[in-house]
Amino acid sequence: MIKFDKEGETPLDDISDLIPKITTRSELDSEEAKNIAKAFFKYLLVPEETKKIEFNEPFLRQLHVDMLSNVWTWAGTYRTTQTSIGVEANKIQHKLYQLMDDLKTWTEFWDYKETATKLHHILVLIHPFPNGNGRWARLVTDIWLASHGHDTLDWGNDNLVDINDDRSEYIKALKEADKGNMDRLEMFMFPKE
């Protein structure tokens, strides 16, 4: 049985929807990482193509499919149950449509760092999928940044999937953003700027 026990991680009650035969946490992390790398390159390898991406609800769903479809049968399918974080399941699609509409306004009137921080936070807050939400939200944010001519983020120096200081700071920054203070999250996302 695979144990899901990291702070900020959505626990999974059912791992029967795994596509490959996986029995350990490290095997799952490895398979997901391979799939996510393919999605990263698909959307970020050619800057001219990245700039053509239309940020809308179908794109958000397709990105999750591209990130996890070789690992989970439900990739790209919104969760139907309530989790410890996230909006009510029946409001997910509406909230994503609303966010994409808001993003157009923010992009026009806000600083790119403020926009990217708010985008990332709300994607995590909506938490639309059974799993992979943080990684998906980070990749959406990176794609948005690249599509507007900015560098992608390093998201701390360590891997945010593993338990480490960067993951701890990231979770703390997200919790402060939940309370309306976006400064810590923006500083985490843009530490050198």
Pairwise CA distance, residues 90 & 92, whole Å:
6
CA nearest to 185, candidates 144, 146, 138: 138
Instruction: Dump pLDDT digits (tens) for 105-116.
Output: 999 999 999 999
The answer to whether 64 touches 136, Cβ cutoff 8 Å, is yes
Does this model's pTM top 0.85? yes
What was the pLDDT predicted at 2? 44
Pairwise CA distance, residues 33 & 164, whole Å:
18
CA nearest to 37, candidates 60, 72, 10, 66: 66
Distances (CA, A) of 162 to 8, 78, 81, 82: 11, 25, 26, 25
Q: Looking at the domain 25-189, which fold is it?
A: Fic-like fold (1.10.3290)
What was the pLDDT predicted at 15? 65
Who has greater pLDDT, 2 or 104? 104
Instruction: Dump pLDDT digits (tens) for 171-186.
Output: 999 999 999 999 999 9
